[in-house]
Structure 1
Amino acid sequence: MNKLHPLAAAIALATLPLTAEATNGYFTHGNSIKAQGMAGVSYAMAHDSISVASNPAALTALGDQLDLGVTWFKPERDARISGNPAFNGQYDGNGDKSFWIPELGFSRQHSERLAYGVAMYANGGMNTSYANNPYAGAGATGDAGVDLSQLFVTSSVGYRLTERHSVGVGLTYVYQMFEARGVNGPAFESMSSNPAALSDNGHDSSDGFGLKLGWQGQVTDTLTLAASWSSKIKTDSFSDYRGLFAEQGGFDVPETYGLGFAWQMNPQWTLAGDWQRINYSDVASVGNPLIPITQLGQDNGSGFGWQDINVYKLGVSYDWSSRLTFRAGYSYADQPVPSSETFFNILAPGVVQEHVSLGASWRPSPAQELTFAYTRALEESVEGNGSLAAFGGGEADLSMSQDILGLAWSYRF
């Protein structure tokens, strides 16, 4: 067959629209389709070239390959306000029904010890669209919602220190787009340091660079351990929303790190797990609470009040034959949205905590592999507690569930 040049594939992928997802907070539960089939488990695995999104040390175990994939993502997000006549109601945030999320990766084994690669993926995002504006009671007009999309490109190098231990380093570029609608009117404008840059200004963009470090070590013949760290990515500001986000439009990407293991129980079965930490509170616009209210957009301005979370993932893979592999997994995450912060988080109800996944790979030839994964993010609700204290009382309750289906193709050179 004719080989597809990696650069041509990257250009083709880049023409697809950016999309958004929200699973563990607003981070994806799994960066590649194979990882999705194990509920995101990836630190100690070398699934494919997109694995560098989790751990660049995986490069030394991959060889030469190209990976292309797409995920169909369908979230269900709803809110209910009670006890406040100005805001009471049931609100459906599903104006945008579903999203397509592309991914691409390429790896190359340069020598016995050295490998390099690049991966393009969406690590996070958030989208809501309320035709019936939940904030109309505060004078807001039009439909309401946000659209946050993040595209990551990680270029990595992996180095095999010994036969059993590898390290990796990656440089990550992130390009993000954001839009807010319906957070307007006298009440919100009085809360903003720059009302003209608060809402309804279309999409704005920002970008920045960060660092990834990783290690994978085969500590016994059957057990591999791993560690990975991704730096906080300082991005430039969303200038069109400097009256909404703290630090005059700041929206950095939080630091993440974690540990993982993969235990080959026998030649067919592998049990693997990850622990991941996401430090949302280090980003002022995400972690600062709405109450007590300080002016939106200031250096220490009000935000969405998200807490740091731990994510625990466990998955299995079973090699039915040389051509067919099955996968399954379960993950649990801490709740990022406190009950006191639900009113503002109607815009960003990233409250899902549990994922259940199934997946499989079929190899029609030694060079090609087709993979699918299905994930159900179980419905989760957060009931407000003092969430409208600054708006006359009452409570806002949030709920979300998701269906996630991924398909991928791999070609080994």
Structure 2
Amino acid sequence: MMKTIYSVLSLGIFAILSNATHATTGYFMHGYGVKAQGNAGTSIANFNDALTIASNPAGLSWIEQQVNVGATIFAPDRSSSIHGSPFADGEYDANGREYFVIPEVAYSHLVNDQVAVGFAIYGNGGMNTSYKQSPFEKYGSTGPAGVNLSQLFFSPAVAWKYAPNQSVAFASNIMYQQFEAKGIDGFAQLSQDSTNLSNRGKDSSTGIGFKLGWSGQFLNDQLTLGAKYSSKVKASNFDKYSGLFAENGGFDVPESYGVGVAFKLTPALTVAADVERINYSNVASVGNSLNLTEPLGTAQGAGFGWQDINIYKIGATYQATPKLTLRAGYSHNDQPIQSDQTFLNILAPGVVQDHLSLGVTWQLDAHQDVSIAYTHALEAEVNGQSSIPVNFGAGNANLKMNQNILGLAYSFQF
């Protein structure tokens, strides 16, 4: 079994780093684990498997010992348009690559009646655009344009059931990320280091943070409450892009936190809800607004202008038969991109806000089950308002995106 886990672990790491994750709540995943995806990511108090480490590690205290493997296929449809510009009016398709595969691996082990340990490996988030016809060509850029960001988290965790009905947990967030940008060399005159702005190939960065979790079960286990906090991950700089990202190529992972509740309406039906927050504005390269008075790459240099967002999720789980579990969910998040910040976000049009999800789990036998989940991120559009600077000819950039997401997972309980 340990050889199997090691093989799956190695395959998962390779596959995540070979594919760009393309997430849906800004650039974070909308749900960690295929079962949670079936509930639109509702998982702070609704514990399904060892992937609970990625949302609330305290859930380890309430699940059986198991190993989980899965993969999610993202099919994002992203595009942009420019209007009112004397240079670059037109419609631009960012779908140079259409499909992305994001694996997940997790394992949980019950040490005794009070302590549980485990780990999870998963794609935390990311973004990809690939314009064969560049929106920035008329601004002096050459060749195809786009960015590719992928983030991998390895999270070992320990949970302690300090009371019969309550648990606390700690997990490390060990992060590895890759980034590449191309076709934005037309911004060279605005950069502190134009040689490390565009077309530098892939660069990598590492960092470490932590996650705290709490959960409790009440009313004869009918009611479950949960809370989680993920620290900001301070990452090493992308040196090859020190002329693009603020703080000399800095790209940290923002902090996030949330609370959740799950209630058994009947022995077969559970309804759960989460409220989360992601503080994108605390990361300079993401939160700084489009500021052309400071060179790109400096501490106050232009970023993507993303705002902090709240995320609201609700899901239902129904045990239709002893072998068949049905799931459904809906989530909504605030819009991170404001209408005056759309120009640079042609590279990162993470504008979707609403997700509808369905999921099914089939129990193969006493130890094994398979799950499938489908999510549609409804099309969203942000139209620019005075979003292109005057020294770039003025006008407006408009962003549009929708997504289809399909996940498949296998679990083995010891």
Q: In the alignment, does 2:386 pair up with 1:349?
A: no
Give the AA of the match of 2:344: F
Q: Which residue of 1 aligns with 2:53?
A: 52
The answer to whether the 8 A contact 2:292-2:301 is kept is: no
State the Cα distance separating 1:19 from its structure 2 match. 2.5
Q: Which residue of 1 aligns with 2:154?
A: 153
Counterparts of 2:23 and 2:4, CA distance in 1: 32
Q: Which residue of 1 aligns with 2:409?
A: 408
Q: Which residue of 2 aligns with 1:165?
A: 166
Q: Which residue of 2 aligns with 1:210?
A: 209
State the Cα distance separating 1:4 from its structure 2 match. 5.8
Q: Which residue of 1 aligns with 2:190?
A: 191
State the Cα distance separating 1:117 from its structure 2 match. 0.2
Q: In the alignment, does 2:242 pair up with 1:242?
A: yes
Q: What secondary structure is seen at the aligned counterpart in 2 of 1:251?
A: coil
Q: Which residue of 1 aligns with 2:80?
A: 79
Give the AA of the match of 1:337: I
Counterparts of 2:358 and 2:254, CA distance in 1: 28
Over residues 262-285 of structure 1, what are the superposed CA-to-partner deviations in whole Å (9 max), with x where a residue is unaligned? 001010000001001000000000
State the Cα distance separating 1:218 from its structure 2 match. 1.2
The answer to whether the 8 A contact 1:18-1:151 is kept is: no
Counterparts of 2:294 and 2:45, CA distance in 1: 43
The answer to whether the 8 A contact 1:18-1:150 is kept is: no
The answer to whether the 8 A contact 2:126-2:149 is kept is: yes
TM-score normalised to structure 1 length: 0.98
Q: How does 1:262-341 map to 2 (within 5 A)?
A: 262-341=262-341
Over residues 73-97 of structure 1, what are the superposed CA-to-partner deviations in whole Å (9 max), with x where a residue is unaligned? 0000010101112010100000011
Counterparts of 1:270 and 1:147, CA distance in 2: 38
Q: How many residues align?
A: 410
The answer to whether the 8 A contact 2:86-2:393 is kept is: no
Counterparts of 1:81 and 1:290, CA distance in 2: 17
TM-score normalised to structure 2 length: 0.97
Counterparts of 1:242 and 1:3, CA distance in 2: 41
State the Cα distance separating 1:3 from its structure 2 match. 7.6
Counterparts of 2:407 and 2:148, CA distance in 1: 22
Q: Which residue of 1 aligns with 2:44?
A: 43
State the Cα distance separating 1:9 from its structure 2 match. 1.9
Q: How does 1:120-139 map to 2 (within 5 A)?
A: 120-139=121-140
Q: Which residue of 2 aligns with 1:228?
A: 228
Give the AA of the match of 2:309: I
Q: Which residue of 2 aligns with 1:12?
A: 11
The answer to whether the 8 A contact 2:85-2:393 is kept is: yes
Q: Which residue of 1 aligns with 2:384?
A: 384
Which range moves more in the overlay, 218-227 or 119-128? 218-227
Q: Give the % identical residues.
A: 49
Q: Which residue of 1 aligns with 2:27?
A: 26
CA RMSD of aligned residues (A): 1.0
Give the AA of the match of 1:103: E
Counterparts of 1:60 and 1:316, CA distance in 2: 22
Q: In the alignment, does 2:197 pair up with 1:201?
A: no
Counterparts of 2:316 and 2:3, CA distance in 1: 32
State the Cα distance separating 1:45 from its structure 2 match. 1.6
Counterparts of 1:45 and 1:146, CA distance in 2: 35
Q: Which residue of 2 aligns with 1:374?
A: 374
Counterparts of 1:14 and 1:28, CA distance in 2: 17
Give the AA of the match of 1:199: S
Q: Which residue of 2 aligns with 1:104?
A: 105
Counterparts of 1:144 and 1:398, CA distance in 2: 15
State the Cα distance separating 1:292 from its structure 2 match. 4.9
The answer to whether the 8 A contact 2:26-2:351 is kept is: yes
Counterparts of 1:364 and 1:106, CA distance in 2: 19
Would the alpha carbon gap of residues 400 and 128 (structure 1) be closer, same or farther in structure 2, given more than 3 Å must change? same
The answer to whether the 8 A contact 2:82-2:90 is kept is: yes
Give the AA of the match of 2:7: A
Would the alpha carbon gap of residues 339 and 293 (structure 1) be closer, same or farther in structure 2, given more than 3 Å must change? farther
Q: Which residue of 2 aligns with 1:361?
A: 361
State the Cα distance separating 1:151 from its structure 2 match. 0.6
The answer to whether the 8 A contact 1:317-1:326 is kept is: yes
Give the AA of the match of 1:196: T
Q: What secondary structure is seen at the aligned counterpart in 1 of 2:8?
A: helix
The answer to whether the 8 A contact 2:190-2:292 is kept is: no
Give the AA of the match of 1:279: N
Counterparts of 2:226 and 2:133, CA distance in 1: 47
Q: What secondary structure is seen at the aligned counterpart in 2 of 1:201?
A: coil
The answer to whether the 8 A contact 2:291-2:301 is kept is: no
The answer to whether the 8 A contact 1:46-1:62 is kept is: yes
Q: Which residue of 2 aligns with 1:115?
A: 116
